[in-house]
Amino acid sequence: MPSEECFVYITLPSQTEPVTAGRYQLDTTRQGAAVGQFVYGRSYLERKDRVEFDPVELKIQVPPFRTTKLRGNFGALRDSSPDAWGRKLIETRLGNPSPSEIQYLLNSPDDRAGALGFGLNVQPPAPARAFNKTLDLARLIEVADQIVAAEKDPAAPAPAGADAEQAEALMRAGTSMGGARPKATVEDEDALWLAKFPHRDDRWNNPRVEHAMLTLARECGISCAESQMTTIGDKDVVLIKRFDRNKAGKGYLRSRMVSALTLLDADDTPDTVDKRQKWSYLLLADEIRRAASGSQSKDLPELFRRVCFNALISNTDDHPRNHAILAKDQAWSLSPAYDLTPNPMIALERRDLAMAFGTWGRYANRLNLLSQCERFLLSKEEATAVVDGMKATIGESWYRVCRQVGVSERDCELIRSAFVYEGFGYDLADPTIATDDAEELPTTRPR
Ligand SMILES: Nc1ncnc2c1ncn2[C@@H]1O[C@H](COP(=O)(O)OP(=O)(O)OP(=O)(O)O)[C@@H](O)[C@H]1O
Ligand SMILES: [Mg+2]
């Protein structure tokens, strides 16, 4: 059966150079099923400063791990690989529409989220020192636009330079980061930033609205990634400061980072049973309690605030890759919030978040939020104060914050219906309100 393998490196806490940690092997059976195996190296296991890749799956232990999920990939490794946008670039560059998981890992640049790296040599390569600079953004946006245009209309005459050449240019810019929107990693004097570009199908100025939502979330007491706007020609770009990298001398310290998808041991294939059962803030809260026991008293109320915020801005794109935990040293804790997007919908009665969080499942509603608040370590009184306080803040401030950071009048009107929608306040105990979509409440998963 066809087999590929690569070495996995890690930049340990307080270090800026990677060491070799283990080996990942991917086999494809005759029936086409992918089987992944990972083993920590003996010399890595002997190190006093060794750390686990993630707190649920690849814990420090000797026997090899095996998986058939995620096309034979392990969650922590998958979280280090590019997603829709970065994958598209690799496919274009390789001229191969479906590379294997190992090919994605080996062909992606070293700006990946978290502390892992991948290569074919036992010894890790020197860490990437040369990231694209914020000054290069104009060229990067141009290349991203060309790639989107070529995807929309493959028959269109290729703009200057072949597709592969454009992908190559963007690849050098560093795009191992996840997500579907066009983006690149850029560096200024003292930090790395995730630059998120406009897309030609955007209905409003997405980068600016994203910056506004992070600003609004901060006003609501949520711990968020730092963001700032920059304008290149007529294009707005939002720069999100990387919270998994910290400049130290000539290099970067790297925090380990895993998504909630990995923490939940879930899949993100659309409409699977797995998705319905595991995509849950309640289960996520349980996992955080286990994985981040030292910071749970801070992290769980914080997670509750984020669910509340998402419900109040109709952020229905709050899927498990849009939440993560980080470990700078040994201990894991909830990462700052990122990727907050309002979704103005027509429905006034009921809007659903991507993950369940109460007795009425995913229903973005005040009583639903309060129904299971104890799972987030909040009493009914505390949770009520959070929900009602945030409802008032968002109702009063969303427009001012948007305008202050330069969202246009027109765009404010386009997104207005996302904020504090009517159904948020419905009394779910009222029998005239249809709640039959309510999903089964996930219970604590035993370990
Ligand atoms: N400030 C940050 N520091 C480190 N990693 C980040 C940061 N912001 C985002 N990420 C990582 O990059 C990924 C992509 O970012 P983001 O979710 O903002 O992109 P997106 O394209 O809008 O995503 P989506 O496909 O969910 O719309 C995230 O899933 C997360 O792993
Ligand atoms: Mg995202």
- My answer on whether 183 and 259 are in the same domain is no
The CB of 322 under 6 Å from ligand 1? The reply is: yes
Q: Is residue 276 part of a domain?
A: yes
**Chain centre to alpha carbon of residue 352:** 19
Which is more confident, 163 or 142? 142
The CB of 339 under 6 Å from ligand 1? The reply is: yes
Q: Is residue 124 part of a domain?
A: no
Q: Which residue among 256, 339, 343, 355 has the greatest number of ligand 1 atoms within 8 angstroms of its CB, and so is best to mutate?
A: 339
- My answer on whether 283 and 382 are in the same domain is yes
Which is more confident, 331 or 134? 331
- My answer on whether 262 and 219 are in the same domain is no
- My answer on whether 335 and 257 are in the same domain is yes
Alpha-carbon distance of 50 to 70, in angstroms, equals 26
Alpha-carbon distance of 314 to 333, in angstroms, equals 26
Contact partners, residue 185, CB within 8 Å, separation at least 6: 111, 131, 132, 173, 174, 175, 177, 192, 193, 194, 195, 242
**Chain centre to alpha carbon of residue 291:** 18
Q: Please spell the DSSP secondary structure of 240-254, one letter per residue.
A: EE-SSEEEETTEEEE
The CB of 225 under 6 Å from ligand 1? The reply is: yes
Q: Is residue 176 part of a domain?
A: yes
- My answer on whether 371 and 262 are in the same domain is yes
Is the entire prediction scored with pTM above 0.95? no
In this structure, the chain runs to a length of 447
- My answer on whether 22 and 166 are in the same domain is no
Alpha-carbon distance of 19 to 11, in angstroms, equals 6
Q: Which residue among 176, 177, 316 has the greatest number of ligand 1 atoms within 8 angstroms of its CB, and so is best to mutate?
A: 177
The CB of 178 under 6 Å from ligand 1? The reply is: yes
Alpha-carbon distance of 193 to 271, in angstroms, equals 33
Residue 447 in this model has a pLDDT that exceeds 50 = no
Pick the last residue of a domain from 119, 151, 166: 119
Q: Is residue 107 part of a domain?
A: yes
Q: Judging by DSSP bridges, how do beta strands 65-67 and 183-187 pair with one another?
A: unpaired
* Nearest CA, atom 31, ligand 1: 178
Beta bridge partner(s), residue 184:
195
Ligand nearest to the CA of 196: 1
Contact partners, residue 436, CB within 8 Å, separation at least 6: none
Residues 117, 320, 302, 422: is their CA dihedral positive or negative? positive
CA of 173 to the centre of ligand 2 (A): 19
The CB of 366 under 6 Å from ligand 1? The reply is: no
Max mean pLDDT range (77-91, 105-119, 190-204, 369-383)? 369-383
- My answer on whether 100 and 146 are in the same domain is no
CA of 177 to the centre of ligand 1 (A): 7
pLDDT score of 156: 59
Pick the last residue of a domain from 214, 241, 268: 241
CA of 405 to the centre of ligand 2 (A): 22
Q: Are 150 and 163 in contact (CB under 8 A)?
A: yes
CA of 128 to the centre of ligand 1 (A): 20
Ligand nearest to the CA of 113: 1
- My answer on whether 221 and 307 are in the same domain is no
The CB of 354 under 6 Å from ligand 1? The reply is: no
The CB of 338 under 6 Å from ligand 1? The reply is: yes
DSSP 118: E
- My answer on whether 97 and 149 are in the same domain is no
**Chain centre to alpha carbon of residue 447:** 26
Q: Is residue 441 part of a domain?
A: no
Pick the last residue of a domain from 207, 241, 275: 241
Q: What is the Cα Rg of the chain in Å?
A: 22
Q: Which amino acid is at 151?
A: E
Write the CATH number for 307.
Answer: 1.10.1070
Alpha-carbon distance of 204 to 261, in angstroms, equals 29
DSSP 116: E
In terms of residue numbers, what domain contains 39?
3-119
The pair of structure tokens assigned to 213 is: 């939502």
Alpha-carbon distance of 372 to 64, in angstroms, equals 38
> How many independent structural domains does the chain possess?
3
* Nearest CA, atom 13, ligand 1: 178
- My answer on whether 274 and 384 are in the same domain is yes
For 30, phi then psi, to 5°, come to: -60, -25
pLDDT score of 250: 82
Write the CATH number for 226.
Answer: 3.30.200.120
The CB of 131 under 6 Å from ligand 1? The reply is: no
Q: Judging by DSSP bridges, how do beta strands 192-196 and 235-241 pair with one another?
A: antiparallel
Q: Are 38 and 1 in contact (CB under 8 A)?
A: no
pLDDT in tens, 197-214: 999 899 999 999 999 999
Q: Is residue 446 part of a domain?
A: no
- When mean pLDDT is compared across 14-18, 88-92, 386-390, 424-428, the lowest value belongs to 88-92
- My answer on whether 255 and 377 are in the same domain is yes
pLDDT in tens, 213-241: 999 999 999 999 999 999 998 899 999 99
| 3-state secondary structure (DSSP) of residue 129 | coil
- My answer on whether 285 and 352 are in the same domain is yes
pLDDT in tens, 92-127: 878 888 888 899 999 888 889 999 999 999 999 877
The CB of 254 under 6 Å from ligand 1? The reply is: no
Q: Is residue 128 part of a domain?
A: no
CA of 210 to the centre of ligand 2 (A): 11
With a pLDDT cut of 70, the percent of the chain lying above it is: 89
* Nearest CA, atom 23, ligand 1: 179
198 exposure class (CB count in 10 Å sphere: 0-12, 13-18, 19+): buried
Q: Is residue 436 part of a domain?
A: no
pLDDT score of 216: 98
* Nearest CA, atom 20, ligand 1: 179
E strand or H helix at 287: helix 281-291
